[in-house]
Amino acid sequence: MDKQEARVKLAQVMERFIGMACKRLPDDVYAKLKELRDNETSEMQRVIYDTYFDNLERAEKLNRPSCQDTGLLHFYINCGSEFKYIGIVEDALREAVAKATFSSPLRQNTVNFFEERNTGDNTGERMPWLHWEIIPDNDELEICVYFAGGGCCLPGCAKVFKPSDGYAAIVRYVFDAVSDLGLNACPPVIVGGGLGHNVENAAVLSKMAYLRPLGTSHKHEKGAKLERDLLDGLNKLGIGAQGLPGKQVAMEVHVESSARHTATIAVGVNVACYMHRRGFIKFNNDLDYDISKSYKGVSI
Ligand code: SF4
């Protein structure tokens, strides 16, 4: 397959993948919502969860997006250093987004900043948003697609503290973010915390944190404990689905970290809503693909 054929094929597969992922929740998120629904004792909370499931069922039956806000398209890309078609990935993703805007369909959400004009096809300056990591001695391409809705973007924040402020500052910052604007992100939410040395790396880490599959923990024992403690604390706030009284404002809290500067502790917070449309697709060098990490038994 030459590069032109590869670009067409990758764009077509990604257009179909986007079309499916905007209508269906990944398996881990769906299973977590079922678990949370069964933990709630209030009748109001159960009604809300049942409405969520009814909405998802109808989205699939009617072939319509599961939420009106299909967001801006973000792609987190793990690309093997030996993947043959690295040079066409960006063009293929742009084309896939533009076409999926009409075939899915996606809401036209993308506005070029200073022109204040909707681009009409969800592509624009640096949009779709791409984050690349190169994996040495590997010949696969894994793409994580994420639909960044407005309600989820609103609570996002990052701040740099002095080390003397300690872990207490981190905890207070996360609680303030979730209990204030976090409620715009249709709870139960997934909270991503990034711990590093400046706002940029903390923000990126917080995004990587909430894209991580549910049921996984930070690799350091203390990081995993911080995740559990934050989740326990947030779920004692008495906030449930849709920000109404309930037992679980958060599905999970994920933390990712990097080494920090001796003089700083940076915290980033990103919040994802219950409609966590995030899915993984993996390609080999023949552009055969596999989506079973997020969607078992589903074909596109
Ligand atoms: S927060 Fe999520 S579920 Fe709520 S409107 Fe936005 S995208 Fe949809």
Q: What does the pLDDT look like over 210-253, one tens digit per residue? A: 999 999 999 999 999 999 999 999 999 999 999 999 999 999 99
Is the pLDDT score of 290 beyond 80?
yes
Q: Which residues pair with 73 in a beta bridge?
A: 147
How far is 254 from 240, CA to CA, in rounded Å? Answer: 19
144-195 residue pLDDT tens: 999 999 999 999 999 999 999 988 999 999 999 998 887 889 999 999 999 9
Cα of 242 vs centre of ligand 1, distance in Å, is 10
User: Average pLDDT of 61-88?
Assistant: 97
Question: Is residue 74 scored above 90 in pLDDT?
Answer: yes
| E strand residue ranges, 166-247 | 189-196
pLDDT-derived band at 47, boundaries 50, 70, 90: very high
> Ligand 1 mean position to 136 CA, how many Å?
36
Which ligand 1 atom sits closest to the C-alpha of 184?
1
Cβ of 149 less than 6 Å from ligand 1 = yes
pLDDT of res. 77: 98
Give residue 183's pLDDT: 81
Query: Is 0.75 topped by the overall pTM?
Result: yes
pLDDT band of residue 112 (cuts 50, 70, 90) is very high
Q: State percent of the chain over pLDDT 70.
A: 100
Beta bridge partners of 75: 130, 145
Q: Report CA(192)–ligand 1 centroid distance (Å).
A: 16
Task: Locate 23 and state its tokens.
Answer: 């209508």
Q: Is the CB of 152 under 6 A from ligand 1?
A: yes
Contact call for residues 172 and 232 (beta carbons, < 8 A): no
Q: What is the pLDDT of residue 179?
A: 87
> Is pLDDT at 56 greater than 80 in this prediction?
yes
- Domains belonging to the chain, first-starting first, are 3-23+66-149+277-290 (3.30.360), 152-272 (3.30.1330)
Please give the average per-residue pLDDT across 64-74, as a whole number: 97
